Structure 1
């Protein structure tokens, strides 16, 4: 007698998990939820004099476990840097300038161009942690 054992098919399980991510990506039109996004934050210095402060903010975000990048390209204007960040679908864009550097803050805006104003970097990290833990799909609105 032959017995057919019920062995789970791992290939099908893997296929379903990959297909779920593909569906999530296509339904969100590239706007990944914050907790899953490979582009969580972009730090933009107003002028190149504040590049070091922007790099420091990025390093603090990295140390807290978030995906962050800095746009220090001197050939682009502030508006072009912000627009590039929006088109690249960064969840949050953090702008730094003289006022922010002296007070230890960043100016927070979302990829939908909603400006949340100036916040201390520690507060931003706290909010990011809360948003990542809640696994919300609308992090930009809940900030």
Structure 2
């Protein structure tokens, strides 16, 4: 198999870097671009953008323990404009959910006397479940 020329390798790496918005680097002592670095940057650039929306510390702690949400942005409130094209993790109004790519709802079955209280981490860890929803606005 024929190796690519150095100029061709750099051209390809430059195009990839421009697409994902990063810079090229050398690979160790080589004169070739660091394609492993580009792959890591591409994975970050095209990874789903999760946003945890919650005012509850215990819920945020529990969600951050899930690998897919470990690097998620955390906000206490979100607008429809901020939700656009994101994956929302938490419970938000339908008009905001309709702007997101989808919503991962944190669902916990509570007895009437448990409602309206701050829930502790142990209860959330034991009883919460994550349920994804796609919400679409429909014209009447």
Please tell me the TM-score bracket, short chain as reference: 0.3 to 0.5
Q: Which has the higher helix share?
A: 1
**TM-score, normalised relative to structure 1:** 0.38
Of the two structures, which has the highest relative contact order with CA contacts closer than 8 Å and spacing of 6 or more? 1
**TM-score, normalised relative to structure 2:** 0.39
Max Rg structure: 2
